[in-house]
Structure 1
């Protein structure tokens, strides 16, 4: 006799208390293996797949795509030990034991078993909660629509677009973002043509408020909370300096001309930061107000600001102090791609000790960024552009960049912050200064 077990949304760690259902990976009636991902959710930090610790037949799902669920809410129920009939004669059945692994991203290394269906009329009917709260028997399930990323699927869902009606322009009919955007534009144009002639607005006794209300949830909500907390708790100050980056740009060109993987400018700046933090460790720290202590770290985990379709995220390069420019470049590339596709894990978005913010990519020279709480400092880098500069006693056109350092005034005074920034500027102007720390 089958035993029905309930799997709840697990504790996602890092203070996360809720998640939004992006995409169900199983249907009611599917047979799932132990630790097989059953749903893709979006937290305030990342898009992750949630594996189920039970093996058996899915008997119910809770929550539609787009629904936010708090941690501890039911996700699915699984009939463990239920009879499975899929036309096979090998007598195989799903594993009935649970793995005990309920943290996001952690499961067995075995590949998920092939999903099978409990056919209508064979065994007990399988029900899922319907929209009106009553059980409904699902007999026919359509195959998944091939979509390039969950972000594209979400864009369609938020605009009421049925992906099954689209023909993808990607390989093998893959639906791309451009396909969804074109369909939305076409729908908007048709709606405009079909609009009736405007009529006079009804008279009201109270003014009608206009504008668009955007919920502060998901990544945007997390960013809002963190920035607000930083402003409340951290007495920050900012200092800045202009630097001649001509020699740094020449050094990078020479490195890349020598063959091998290309070295990014961000990697060189990160390497400069790790050398500067070794000299000024006060800025690689956090403040523990409960203990009234400044905690200096013995490692450097560099976060870097990355703008994505889902908002601003700060992926973290672990042990940046132990990496060379080539390794840093590779890790920046990997994390940037994961950020773009929404594939960063919560662990890759937390634990930073210092942040590097290259706002020059937005075409601006300077900024006074808000510190990424609970860190103690952030280096900002503006755009590098030709400017008149006095070089070796003569006026010349040089590649100039503005550097800014925002720091927690509780961990150090202006002398330390200025010394850090001056060292960074010296390394930008004379990359050979770094040879002392290699």
Structure 2
């Protein structure tokens, strides 16, 4: 185990005043970093399981979007992709980066792995910091839950803290700062916990579950996240306008003030089905609606729980929610398609965003102005109750589907939901319900 040197200053008071003594100590280094990009732990999960210990180091600092590393971005898209260039939607503002990234490093492990993360708080404003592992139950490791002043004291400025916990339960999760409004300023990332394919109920629904197909959506403002909160609390009127954009994996283009910054591109190959893991990491109250041009999809999981598959054309994600969908790469009329992001209800939280679904070996790109108008018909999935848009023929919610867990198609957290399969104007009551309304039969 490596040794590192540390400097500790001891203070004490006597009749002669305040005294101090600097002590040089050797401290045990408590974490061995495997790989910040999680490539060593991103693997085909084995059955029976063979858990690994997966180590990471997160260094968090304040940086700036569109800073010097971006050179001639957005005029030069090559410069926009340069290391340490954070283009977001082309706006200029301060941003919290983790290992020079926003979103930060993606943790991708297998169920039962031990995750150890050393977090270095180098935020230049001296603020404290905690990381919450959203979706992890933290059984026997409550101290690692990252809720400031409840499960831990914030990590002081210029110090480090090591989180250690078991990757449980499996599913699509995410991590984010839980201190102040830091999450809205860029301190977030993906946390994916996979299981062996042999144990997945919906394993036959898709061909590939790729590391690069995690989709993190955030409502990104051209001002710091604290500003609108203070303006609202004081009933103040802003002296200058600001923009709000839905970014996908940290990239987007604001339609109000287009800057032609690069969009996130998800590659697929014709003839295969791809699992995509969506996270609504919005800081505000924005529900996000996602539609993929000419590509209906199948919902197979939400918040880490497998669902009875539902085929839809669009979905709504609430803040903090995760949904796994399967898309079939079968539309070949052109080589690139728009992924539309809009807020819902749009009048309460006006914002939009775009990403690109691109077929491999395609050479043409989709411009932002061709992705301005998402389709408004077909079927819609949401886990919340809402007033149905008349333009949608079918609407599905948790009242129309049910969750699987560990071989049984019942999520204990949903026992108070009456399970039914519903269409917009016709509700068919479930043929098999438990005493609390939950499904009790297996597939």
Normalising by the smaller structure, the TM-score range is under 0.3
In terms of fraction of residues, the more strand-rich structure is 2
Q: Could you tell me the TM-score, scaled by structure 2's length?
A: 0.24
Q: Point out which structure has higher relative CO (alpha carbons under 8 A, 6+ apart).
A: 1
Q: Could you tell me the TM-score, scaled by structure 1's length?
A: 0.24
